[in-house]
Every structure is written in C-alpha cells, then in structure tokens.
Amino acid sequence: MSNLLRRSRRLSSVIEAIGNTPAVRLDRIGREVPGVEIYLKLEFANPGGSVKDRPALSMVRNALATGALSDDKILIDATSGNTGVAYSLLGAALGFRVELVMPANVTRARKDITQAFGTKLTYSSPMEGSDGAIVLVRKLVKENPDKYFYCDQYSNPENPLAHYRGTGQEILEAFGERITHFVAGLGTSGTAMGTTRRLHEHARKVYCVAVEPAEALHGLEGLKHMASSIQPAIYDSRVPDEILPVGTEQGWEMTERLGAEEGLHVGHSTGANVFGALEIARRLQREKREGCVVAIACDRGDRYFAPMKWERRYTW
C-alpha cells in the first residue's frame, strides 16, 4: 500500500517525479540461473524517460543555487541524447534556456524530443561520437564565456552525487541485506561511480560491476569504451569491483530478449547491463552460491527505432 500511495502522490512540478523508480524481477530470463534473483531498476520511469534525469536535476539545482546558471546564461553541454532530454525538460519546467551539442547521427527521436521542449541543437561530427561533441562544446564555451553556463556532465561532481544520494539509497531501501551484486554501464560513469560508492558503504559487501563496450568501435549507444575515449573526470577505475566488457551483439540480443520475454522495451545499454547481470548470475550458479543481482535499465527502446536498425548488419 505504501508503494501505491507514493507513486500516486500529488506533485507541484514534474521535477518531483524524478527518482523513486521501481525495480522488477526478470522472471523468464532469470530461470536460466535458479537460486539467483535478477532485478532491473526501471530508470525509464523518470519523466524524461531515462536515468539521466537524476544527475541533470542535481547539476541544475546546484547551478541555480550557486548562481552559476542565471537568466542571462544559456545552459550548454555535450550529450548523446538522454541527458539532453533531461536538461530540456528541466529548462522548460524551471524557465531557463538550453543548447545542446550532440553527434549528428544520434537517433531522430532524441533530436525531436529535445527540440520539442524548445532546445537549440548544434551537431558535431558523426564520426567522432560523444568525444567530438565534448571537443565542440568546449570550443563554443571558450569563444562565448559570458553567454553560456557549461554544465559539463562528464566532470560535474553532482552527476555521481545524484546516484550516491538517490539511486544507491533507493536500492538499499528496496533490497536491504538481500542484494549481493550491482551492475551498471559506463557512459559519463556517474551511475556506476555514485551508486557503487553508496553500496560499498553498506554493512554487507555488495559486489559492484561496471559494464563497458568490449570494442572501441561499438553500437552500444550511451556507453564508453574508456581506453579509447576521453575519460570523464568523474570516472575512477578503482571504484568498481570489476569492469566487465560486453560486445555489441551481446547487448543488442539481450535487448531483444527483454522485449520478447519480459515485456520490457529498452535501449541497448540496458541490454548490455542485463547481459552482464546474467553473466554474474551464471558465475554464482557455477560456484553453487545464491545471490540477488540488481542492474540498471537506463532508458526506453523507443529512442532506438528504425533509424539505427541498419547497424545490426555490421560485424562489430
């Protein structure tokens, strides 16, 4: 009853709907590993449709409180899409202007959603990925320092802090002593860094795994292959207990399984996270150990429709 009341609460603003996301057990996929529970925390239940609502709100609130973001400044940042949607939603709700730099080949849906909130888009080279967007946004800010507030999700400490205070705490409240393992992908790395730090403070050991693409050239949009990328300042490879490489095909195939077997239409980074969670569960089963693995569902699959489908023809 308490969960029903909480999710039916009255809100004074859409931003109050951010956080307190549900977790669902993966029943059919989990049948492969009897004795191990696999849960998916549904971050697409945030109003902006992704896990990025959390850090965006935290970064914006801090910027407004310190005066870094004001009426005469435009919030600008580099994004592959989801954080941009979150900034755009917040800009419309709180009344500030937003400009985003994103690779020209991000999905049409992400471009359309951000522009629907009145956001201005500037495109970087599709060949340079998220790193190209970072380089271009730094150039724009350097040329126009008085025009922009550069939120810089890759360096802003409020990014992982949002997950330390929110995501990690919610997982502990939901699972308590039952949770044994946690899995999240590496993009900006905020989710993995902040949540892992909070879970590591728990009295019982929680083994935390960071998933990253196995290849430098990959199709897991939103995730970074750290060795070949500009590493975010907030990233620390020493924080996770393990970094687990996942291939593009493995992530894509698990995404399709989640839709067909669990009724969860999610993005490919979520597929990679669940593939990693299943690998951990299989490891536990081989060791004849029980466990409870919690993974992050980063966003919905409707942002990955037909415009990206051609990528499945490639061998990554």
Same domain, 94 and 141: yes
Q: So what's the pLDDT on residue 316?
A: 36
Same domain, 62 and 45: no
CA distance 173 to 151: 30
Same domain, 178 and 305: yes
- Domain termination residue (choose one: 94, 125, 150): 150
Same domain, 103 and 230: no
Same domain, 140 and 175: no
Letter string b/e over residues 168-180, b meaning 16 or more CB atoms within 10 A of that residue's CB: bebbbebbeeebb
CA distance 29 to 262: 8
Identify the three-state secondary structure at position 42: strand
Domain assignment present for 239: yes
CA distance 196 to 186: 12
Cα dihedral 294, 217, 114, 263 in deg (nearest 10): -40
Same domain, 16 and 94: no
CA distance 56 to 53: 5
Looking at every residue in the chain, the average pLDDT score rounds to: 92
Six token digits for residue 186? 């590496």
Domain assignment present for 316: no
Same domain, 173 and 41: yes
- The count of C-alpha atoms lying within 13 angstroms of the C-alpha of 278, restricted to the half-sphere facing its C-beta, is 21
Q: So what's the pLDDT on residue 47?
A: 97
Residues 224, 228, 233, 234, CA torsion sign: positive
Domain assignment present for 109: yes
- Domain termination residue (choose one: 150, 166, 182): 150
Domain assignment present for 66: yes
Same domain, 188 and 69: no
**pLDDT tens, 113-168?**
999 999 999 999 988 888 899 999 999 999 999 999 999 999 999 999 999 999 99
Of the candidates 285, 57, 280, 311, the one whose C-alpha atom is nearest the C-alpha of residue 183 is: 280
Same domain, 15 and 89: no
Q: So what's the pLDDT on residue 101?
A: 96
CA distance 209 to 284: 14
Task: Give the full edge-to-edge strand order of the sheet including 74-78.
Answer: 120-124, 97-103, 74-78, 148-150
User: Is residue 81 very low, low, confident or very high in pLDDT (cuts 50, 70, 90)?
Assistant: confident
**pLDDT tens, 211-225?**
999 999 999 988 999
Domain assignment present for 136: yes
Same domain, 25 and 80: no
Q: So what's the pLDDT on residue 307?
A: 45
Domain count, the chain: 2
Please name the residue that has the structure tokens 């790395």: 189
Task: Assign residue 113 the CATH number of its domain.
Answer: 3.40.50.1100
95-101: long-range contacts at Cβ-Cβ below 8 A with a sequence spacing of 24 or more? 96/60, 96/69, 96/71, 98/74, 99/74, 99/75, 99/148, 100/76, 101/76, 101/77, 101/133, 101/136, 101/137, 101/140
β-strands 242-246, 207-213: how paired? Answer: parallel
Six token digits for residue 82? 């989801």
Domain assignment present for 174: yes
Same domain, 57 and 43: no
Reported pTM: 0.91
Residue 243 in contact with residue 231, Cβ under 8 Å?
A: no
Domain assignment present for 315: no
**% the chain with pLDDT above 90:** 84
* The pLDDT of residue 19 is above 90: yes
Q: So what's the pLDDT on residue 315?
A: 40
* pLDDT, mean of residues 245-271: 97
- Domain termination residue (choose one: 150, 166, 194): 150
**pLDDT tens, 259-309?**
999 999 999 999 999 999 999 999 999 999 999 999 999 999 988 764 444
Range of the domain at 212: 2-50+157-310
Same domain, 177 and 28: yes
